[in-house]
Homo-oligomer: A and B are copies of this chain.
Amino acid sequence: HHSESVNFSNRGMTLEAELNESNQFYLSHEIAVIHKKPTPIQIVSVDYPKRSAARIKEAYFRRASTTDYNGVYQGRYIDFDAKETKNKTSFPLKNFHKHQVEHMRQCLKQDGICFAIIKFISDQSVFLLRASDLISYWDKQTAGGRKSIPRKTIEKIGVLIPYQINPLLPYLHAVDTIIH
């Protein structure tokens, strides 16, 4: 069981930093081209000083209408979001926005490879959860079902992503198991 193996995770790193580092490995080894999208910003006011770079003086964060990561792996479109939870026994669905789930639904219709990467911070374990499974829980919630996915369920229907050295989070192995 994974809890007995050596864990290369770094407790100081966010899941996002771990994924960015892994994506950099995949990019430099020509395994996949996957990037995090920039944070969407609403710009209100910009200064254009004569001899230096344009300076944004007033701007606000906008809610993303898509997931955070996408790219290409062996010709296939890859699309996912990454979420951390401090919860030990379940993953709260409120970590997702409606727009992100709708985006996943749209990508699945186009035959994209869509999923969530979920990290339980308490024991640093990380899972890939297929978008179809996430959407199924999401829709049940809307119909009055539970507001979270039990961790036991994620262990059963998800794919464990064990930390290793290079890349730190070899999530494309997990993607291979959901493609084939």
Chain A residues packing against B (C-beta within 8 Å): 27, 30, 32-33, 35, 37-41, 53-62, 65-66, 70-79, 103, 106-107, 109-112
Q: Is the CB of B65 within 8 A of A56?
A: no
Roughly how many angstroms separate A70 CA and B36 CA in the complex, as a whole number? 12
Identical chains bound together, number: 2
Closest 8 CB pairs of A and B: A75-B111, A72-B77, A56-B59, A38-B40, A72-B112, A72-B110, A77-B77, A38-B38
**From A111, which residue of chain B is reached at the shortest CB distance?**
B75
**Closest chain B CB from A132 CB (angstroms):** 15
**From A75, which residue of chain B is reached at the shortest CB distance?**
B111
**From A114, which residue of chain B is reached at the shortest CB distance?**
B72
- B-chain residues with CB within 8 Å of residue A106 when the two chains form the complex: 27, 30, 33
**From A64, which residue of chain B is reached at the shortest CB distance?**
B38
**From A112, which residue of chain B is reached at the shortest CB distance?**
B72
Which of these, B35, B54, B112, contacts A61 with CB under 8 Å?
B54
Roughly how many angstroms separate A35 CA and B66 CA in the complex, as a whole number? 9
Roughly how many angstroms separate A107 CA and B37 CA in the complex, as a whole number? 16
Roughly how many angstroms separate A110 CA and B78 CA in the complex, as a whole number? 12
Known A-B contacts A75-B110, A106-B33; the reply to A60 vs B66 at CB < 8 A is no
Roughly how many angstroms separate A79 CA and B35 CA in the complex, as a whole number? 12
- B-chain residues with CB within 8 Å of residue A72 when the two chains form the complex: 77, 79, 107, 110-112
Known interface pairs A38-B39, A55-B60, A75-B112; 9 further A-B residue pairs with C-beta atoms within 8 A, sorted by A's residue number = A33-B110, A53-B61, A56-B58, A70-B71, A72-B79, A72-B112, A74-B111, A75-B77, A75-B111
**Closest chain B CB from A134 CB (angstroms):** 17
Q: Is the CB of B65 within 8 A of A33?
A: no
Which of these, B33, B70, B109, B110, contacts A103 with CB under 8 Å?
B33
